[in-house]
């Protein structure tokens, strides 16, 4: 069973007046089949956690460990992490001029699976996955994220999640900027992947709204660069009612 273990993770970014510590000792274990919601106020370091796990060069790991099934994730390059089974659905997916969605998906699947998918079954696989996410087939010929609406970008992220079948899926504010219909479609996509029982999900969100569609097994409150409280789904109800007030007062929220 795949397990992502984060232990005492410290992460800094370069700021104008020297390095600034954002993550201050994160401990978290995510197992295959589990869904963990990470909730917290703006600036608490949630997205930093997501990007640090994916290996974004902007973030410097200053302490702690991250392992996937015992393998040192922090030693891996960005592409190695993805091939090892870590997937990050980004809050702000990047436009890639010149690369069509279909070309991108196939190249990515080839890299992650270690061999090129057979063309005939691949075309069918993509078509069906797109239909489930209510994406127009013409979408495949557009350039990656170029001119996509907010909802299209998120559907495209979840399309990749469905096709790449990672061991650990990190969803960074996938719900932000979505209307109710898009949120439902995207959530259903995430749930299909979860129902396979083969993915551990780290659902990062500011709002409790998405938790109506995606039921977490665990909820963690993130504040000031670390997990400050953990509980079951009921913790989200408390946050819904009371907000983050209790966790940020006196703390540096940056």
Partner 1 sequence: MADNTPAGSTTDGAIQVGGPKQPIDARVSAPASYDVADFPVPHGREEEWRFTPLERLRGLHDGTAVDKAVDGGGVKVEVSAPEGVTVETVGRDDARLGKAGKPVDRVAAQAFSSFETASVVSVPKDTVLTEPVRIGVHGVGGVAFGHQVIEIGAFSEAVVVIDHTGDATLAANVEYLVGDGAKLTVVSVQDWDDTAVHAAQHTALVGRDATFKSVIVTLGGDLVRLHPRVVYTGPGGEAELYGLYFTDNGQHQEHRLLVDHDTPHCRSNVVYKGALQGKDAHAVWIGDVLIRAAAEGTDTYELNRNLVLTDGARVDSVPNLEIETGEIVGAGHASATGRFDDEQLFYLMARGIPADEARRLVVRGFFAELVQQIGIPDLEERLIAKIEAELEASLA
Shortest Å distance, C-beta 232 to partner 1: 31
Choice between 38 and 164, CB closer to partner 1: 164
Choice between 61 and 111, CB closer to partner 1: 111
Q: Of 41-49, 73-81, 206-214, 218-226, which part binds partner 1 (CB under 8 A)?
A: 73-81
Could you say which of 42, 77, 149, 196 contacts partner 1 (CB under 8 A)? 77
CA distance 141 to 68: 35
Assigned token pair, 67:
């392992």
- The site map against partner 1 for 153-182 (x = CB under 8 A) is -------x---x------------------
Choice between 89 and 223, CB closer to partner 1: 89
Could you say which of 97, 120, 234, 249 contacts partner 1 (CB under 8 A)? 97
- Helix H, strand E, coil C: the string for the chain is CCEEEEEEEEEEEEECCEEEEEEEEEEEEEECCCEEEEECCCCCCHHHHHHHHHCCCCEEEEEEEEEECCEEHHHCCHHHHHHHCEEEECCCCCCEEEEEHHHHHHHHHHHHHCCCCCHHHHHHHHHHHHHHCCCCHHHHHCEECCCCCHHHHHHHHHHHHHHHCCCEEEEECCCCCCCHHHHHHHHHHHHHHHHCCCCEEEEEECCCHHHHCCCCCEEEEEECCEEEEEECCHHHHHHHHHCCHHHHCCCCCC
Euclidean distance between the first and the last CA atom of the chain, given in angstroms as a whole number = 37
Shortest Å distance, C-beta 164 to partner 1: 7
Could you say which of 61, 74, 111, 123 contacts partner 1 (CB under 8 A)? 111
Q: Of 32-40, 83-91, 172-180, 233-241, which part binds partner 1 (CB under 8 A)?
A: 83-91
99 binds partner 1 (CB under 8 A): yes
Shortest Å distance, C-beta 17 to partner 1: 23
Q: Which residues contact 57 (CB under 8 A, 6 or more apart)?
A: 78
Choice between 27 and 146, CB closer to partner 1: 146
Shortest Å distance, C-beta 56 to partner 1: 6
> What residues numbered 7-66 form the site for partner 1, per CB under 8 A?
54-57
Binding footprint of partner 1 on the chain (CB under 8 A) = 54-57, 77-79, 81-83, 87-88, 90, 93-100, 103-104, 107-108, 111-112, 143-144, 160, 164
């Amino acid at each position: 069973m795949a397990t992502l273990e984060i232990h005492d993770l410290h992460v800094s970014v370069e700021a104008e007046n020297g390095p600034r510590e954002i993550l201050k000792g994160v401990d978290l274990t995510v197992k295959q089949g589990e869904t963990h919601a990470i909730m917290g106020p703006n600036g608490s370091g949630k997205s930093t956690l997501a990007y640090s796990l994916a290996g974004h060069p902007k973030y410097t790991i200053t302490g702690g460990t991250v392992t996937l099934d015992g393998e040192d994730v922090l030693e891996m390059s960005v592409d190695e992490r993805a091939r090892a089974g870590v997937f990050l659905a980004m809050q702000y997916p990047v436009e890639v001029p010149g690369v069509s969605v279909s070309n991108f998906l196939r190249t990515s699947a080839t890299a992650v699976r270690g061999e090129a998918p057979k063309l005939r079954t691949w075309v069918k696989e993509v078509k069906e996955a797109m239909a489930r996410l209510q994406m127009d087939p013409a979408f495949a010929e557009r350039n990656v994220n170029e001119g996509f609406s907010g909802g299209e970008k998120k559907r495209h992220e979840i399309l990749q999640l469905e096709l790449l079948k990672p061991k650990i899926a990190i969803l960074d504010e996938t719900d932000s900027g979505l209307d109710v219909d898009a949120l439902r479609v995207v959530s259903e996509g995430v749930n299909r992947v979860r129902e396979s029982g083969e993915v551990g999900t780290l659902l990062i969100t500011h709002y409790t709204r998405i938790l109506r569609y995606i039921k977490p097994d665990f909820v963690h409150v993130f504040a000031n660069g670390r997990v400050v409280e953990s509980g079951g789904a009921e913790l989200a109800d408390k946050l819904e009612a009371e907000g983050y007030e209790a966790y940020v007062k006196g703390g540096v929220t940056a």
